[in-house]
């Protein structure tokens, strides 16, 4: 158990819909990272937040957005969903950037 929690574990929705994924970091970790993992693209960094502020941006689509709240939990919002958005979405947290602890992931299926 990494100490990072993610909800929900599974999510099935239809194209065009909007979903919100939630992440609670390890106690004391200020940084939260979001990743997308699909079979053909591997693990792709989406975005990082540090203490409520956006710190780094990766391959995140404009249809996707994230935020980190004062209690340090984070949400990833995915809108206008497409079939290709089906993937595992992981959240990770850290104190140091190069030591990340991953949550169990949310499996998103877009039908």
- Counting beta carbons within 10 angstroms of the beta carbon of residue 68, is it exposed (0 to 12), middle (13 to 18) or buried (19 or more)? buried
Based on the shown chain and the rule CB under 8 A, indicate whether residue 71 belongs to the binding site for another protein: no
Based on the shown chain and the rule CB under 8 A, indicate whether residue 47 belongs to the binding site for another protein: no
Based on the shown chain and the rule CB under 8 A, indicate whether residue 33 belongs to the binding site for another protein: yes
- How many residues bind another protein (CB under 8 A)? The answer is 24
Based on the shown chain and the rule CB under 8 A, indicate whether residue 25 belongs to the binding site for another protein: no
CA angle 24, 49, 45 (to 5 degrees): 95
Among 7, 8, 18, 43, binds another protein (CB under 8 A): 43
């Amino acid at each position: 158990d990494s100490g990072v929690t993610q909800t929900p574990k599974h999510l099935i929705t239809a194209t065009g819909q909007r979903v919100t994924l939630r992440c609670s970091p390890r106690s004391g970790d200020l940084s939260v990272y979001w990743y997308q993992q699909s079979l053909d693209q591997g693990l792709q960094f989406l975005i990082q937040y540090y203490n409520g502020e956006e710190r780094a941006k990766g391959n995140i689509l404009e249809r996707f957005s994230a935020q980190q709240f004062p209690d340090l939990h984070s949400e990833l919002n995915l809108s206008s969903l497409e079939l290709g958005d089906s993937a595992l979405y992981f959240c990770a947290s850290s104190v140091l950037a190069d030591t990340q602890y991953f949550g169990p992931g949310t499996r998103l299926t877009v039908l």
